[in-house]
A = this chain, B = another copy of it.
Amino acid sequence: MEQYRILIVDDHPIVREGLKLIFETEKSIIIEDEASNGAEALALVLAETNKFDLILLDISMPVMDGITFLEQLKDRGISINTMVLTTSDDADDIQAALQAGAKSVLLKDAARKEMIQTVLRTAKGESVLQPELQHILQAKRKLQQDSLLTPKELSVLGRIVKGSASKEIALDMGISERTVKAHLSSIYQKLDVGSRAEAVACAIVRKLVTY
């Protein structure tokens, strides 16, 4: 029987212990090593590139988070199957993980059996994504498309959130005040609002702007 060597990366000792316990029964899974953040994990991987068949990692961690770790792997051209374990069903997190190169994403509250299944399939190179998470991603894409703002509109919106007046924004962006207002009207229509105040609330809640 084939065996898969796994690296566990999570800052919570509880989670690491729990994962070990869960995989104890599965003889084809070997917890080869563990790390408490992305930096430690990167050091382990760099020390011996072919040591692991799968990296099981958390997203939020001190020092270096999971997304940054995945990006580092990509930047260095290291190709290892990676599976992200996350608590949140936040579409942004999931999308960021996949974008950064995660093969699979699994919610931490998944059942023992599903977790083992996903680990094995991902270790073999398969990409696994819970139907639940797929729906969340779809919903997000839909939401974003419905309210898709052009780069200029986003730029204007960002300045609105910071409290700039139309005239200031015009000067800032090198366009006329009337054009700023035109962009604003378009933004209002797309976000289904009728004033700067509402637009700001909408922008922050929908995370259309970085704050």
Question: Chain A: residues with CB nearer than 8 A to chain B?
Answer: 11-22, 60, 62, 87, 108-109, 111-112, 115, 160-163, 165, 193-201, 204-205, 211
Residue in chain B with minimal CB distance to A203: B201
- Complex: how many Å from CA A11 to CA B89? 14
- Complex: how many Å from CA A12 to CA B88? 12
Nearest-neighbour CB distance to chain B for A14, whole angstroms, equals 3
Name 13 interchain pairs, CB-CB below 8 A, sorted by A. Answer: A12-B18, A12-B108, A14-B15, A17-B17, A17-B18, A17-B22, A18-B19, A60-B87, A160-B197, A162-B201, A163-B193, A163-B195, A200-B200
Residue in chain B with minimal CB distance to A36: B109
Residues of chain B contacted by A161 (CB below 8 angstroms) = 197, 201
User: What's the number of copies of this chain in the assembled complex?
Assistant: 2
Residues of chain B contacted by A201 (CB below 8 angstroms) = 161-163, 200, 204, 211
Consensus secondary structure, chain A interface: helix
A193-B163, A197-B200, A204-B201 known; A16 vs B13 contact (CB < 8 Å) = no
Structural contact, A12 and B211, CB atoms closer than 8 A:
no
Residue in chain B with minimal CB distance to A110: B13
Residues of chain B contacted by A20 (CB below 8 angstroms) = 21
Structural contact, B11 and A109, CB atoms closer than 8 A:
yes
Residue in chain B with minimal CB distance to A60: B87
Nearest-neighbour CB distance to chain B for A200, whole angstroms, equals 4
Residues of chain B contacted by A160 (CB below 8 angstroms) = 197
